[in-house]
């Protein structure tokens, strides 16, 4: 069982990461930190609560983070994730309440009360983890492991030519975090899942079809490039229906970017790595973040060869088997969806 603090900017792929973790018997989510990024922080928190309802989850703390990055104004990306950050999905508003402590305080309190037991997963900007480090400087030693979805190393950015979104929203926070984790022993270096590897995780329509079939949902789930704009899922299973409507928006965005009718599932991949680091091959490197470059600000720079004379501070995920990941995702989420909403049951 892995105790997890999950820090998300929910987000379409963050949504799938949350559902995957809720579907995973080896995941014990002890707290969800809502971070401003894809959409504003209040919307991120509302999305997190709404997904907990869809998944009939037990009470799990959802804390609200800073409304803005450490230094620069917030930039959101509704064109990528939709006006509410969950694509075309329309989730019933939740009656659950957010935590009365901030995301940063929750981070600090949970690592103090579970020393050496919590794995941190960040699939959004690193704002609230950086704020937590100010509250608890010993956090890197108190955390069992950290997995970050972010950055681009020998690879083009998706936000500027050199910069990946999570880092670009709050480069100062990213530098604080990478610097702070320079002190941990090699076996507990943060695992960084950057675009180099997460853009190999290409969800296609057949993955959704397999997910629907595994969940016993009907009719067969398809999201085709030729579908009309107003097409929405008719899946009998609410988990399949809502995820499909979310992913449909993401696939349209990727197609419009010339990437094909696919969607890069960055965050659920990082979530799977948090549960099982053996899913990736990694290489140690010293990583720092460019803050002053006029063209390269927010770039994550990896020193693979020790040229800076500084010891490695991260393990960069370099290789994986995307098909094995999708098999795991479809099996876990499909079986979970079927348990929650049995095929023979009425359509809630
Ligand atoms: O660059 C991809 C990352 O930025 C993902 O985490 C996505 O959800 C966005 O936050
Ligand atoms: Ca995200």
pLDDT in tens, 112-125: 999 999 999 999 99
Instruction: Please indicate, yes or no, if residue 55 is contained in any of the structural domains.
Output: yes
Among residues 265, 301, 314, 300, the alpha carbon closest in space to that of 151 is found at: 300
The C-alpha torsion from 122 through 125 and 126 to 131, rounded to 10°, is: -120
| Of 6, 8, 10, 14, best ligand 1 pocket probe by most atoms within 8 Å of the beta carbon | 14
Q: Can you give the residue range of the structural domain that contains 188?
A: 2-201+262-328
Angle at 212 between CA 207 and CA 218, to 5 degrees: 140
What protein residues have CB closer than 5 angstroms to ion ligand 2?
9, 11, 14, 123-124, 267
How high is the pLDDT of residue 154? 87
| Ligand 1 binding pocket mutation candidate from 81, 124, 253 (most atoms within 8 A of CB) | 124
Say how many domains are in the chain: 1
Residues of the chain with pLDDT under 70: 345-348
Tens-place pLDDT, residues 215-259: 999 999 999 999 999 999 999 999 999 999 999 999 999 999 999
Say how many Å lie between the first and final Cα of the chain, rounded: 31
Residue 209 domain-assigned (yes or no): no
User: Does residue 321 fall inside a structural domain?
Assistant: yes
Within a domain: residue 145? Answer: yes
Question: From the CA of 6, which ligand is nearest?
Answer: 2
Strand, helix or coil for residue 157? coil
Q: Which two tokens stand for residue 7?
A: 């820090």
Are the CB atoms for 151 and 315 separated by under 8 Å? Answer: no
The whole-angstrom separation of Cα 316 and Cα 124 is 17
**315 located within any domain:** yes
34, two tokens: 């809502």
Which pair of tokens denotes residue 153?
A: 């190393």
- Per the CB < 8 A criterion, the answer to whether 179 and 303 are in contact is no
CA of 188 relative to ligand 2 center, distance in Å: 23
pLDDT of residue 345: 56
Residue at 136 is within a domain: yes
- Decide if 91 is inside a domain: yes
Matching residue, tokens 């950015």? 157
Kindly compute the dihedral angle of the four CA atoms of residues 212, 217, 223, 228, in this order, to the nearest 10 degrees.
Answer: -170
Does some domain include residue 273?
yes
Within 8 A by CB and 6+ apart from 58, the residues are: none
- Residues in CB range of 12: below 8 A, 6 or more apart: 38, 80, 81, 82, 85, 86, 87, 246, 247, 249, 250, 263
Q: How many angstroms from the chain centroid is the CA of residue 323?
A: 19
Cis peptide before 314 (omega within 30 of 0): no
CATH of the domain at 13: 3.90.245.10
DSSP letter string, 293-325: -TTTTT-EEEESS-TTS----EEEEEE--HHHH
pLDDT value of residue 250 = 97
Identify which of 93, 103, 116, 137 has the alpha carbon closest to the alpha carbon of residue 35. Answer: 103
Q: Is the CB of 249 inside a 6 Å radius of any atom of ligand 1?
A: no
For residue 344, what pLDDT is reported? 77
Hey, whose CA ends up nearest to atom 6 of ligand 1? 123
């Amino acid at each position: 069982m892995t105790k997890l603090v999950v820090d998300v900017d929910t987000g379409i792929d963050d949504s799938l990461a949350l559902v995957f973790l809720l579907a995973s018997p080896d995941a014990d989510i002890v707290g969800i930190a809502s971070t401003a990024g894809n959409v504003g922080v209040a919307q991120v928190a509302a999305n997190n609560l709404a997904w907990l309802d869809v998944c009939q989850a037990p009470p799990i703390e959802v804390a609200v983070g800073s409304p803005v990055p450490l230094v620069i104004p917030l930039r959101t990306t509704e064109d990528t994730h939709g006006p509410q950050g969950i694509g075309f999905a329309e989730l019933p508003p939740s009656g659950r309440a957010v935590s009365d402590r901030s995301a940063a305080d929750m981070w600090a309190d949970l690592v103090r009360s579970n020393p050496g037991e919590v794995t941190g997963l960040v699939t959004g900007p690193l704002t609230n983890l950086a704020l937590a480090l100010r509250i608890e400087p010993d956090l890197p030693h108190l955390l069992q492991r950290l997995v970050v979805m972010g950055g681009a190393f020998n690879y083009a950015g998706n936000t500027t030519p050199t910069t990946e979104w999570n880092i670009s929203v709050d480069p100062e926070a990213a530098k604080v975090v990478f610097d702070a984790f320079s002190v941990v022993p090699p076996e507990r270096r943060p695992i960084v899942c950057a675009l180099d590897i997460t853009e190999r995780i290409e969800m296609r329509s057949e993955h959704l079809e397999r997910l629907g079939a595994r969940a016993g949902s009907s009719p067969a789930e398809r999201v085709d490039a030729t579908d009309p704009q107003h097409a929405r899922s008719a899946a009998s299973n609410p988990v399949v229906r809502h995820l499909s409507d979310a992913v449909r928006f993401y696939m349209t965005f990727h197609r419009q970017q010339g990437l094909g009718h696919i969607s890069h599932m960055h965050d659920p991949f990082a979530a799977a790595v948090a549960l099982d680091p053996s899913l990736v091959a990694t290489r140690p490197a010293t990583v720092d973040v460019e803050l002053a470059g006029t063209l390269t600000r927010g770039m994550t720079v990896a020193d693979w060869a020790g040229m800076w004379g500084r010891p490695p501070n991260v393990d960069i995920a370099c290789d994986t088997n995307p098909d094995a990941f999708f098999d795991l995702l479809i099996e876990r989420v499909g079986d979970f969806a079927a348990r929650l909403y049995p095929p023979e049951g009425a359509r809630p």
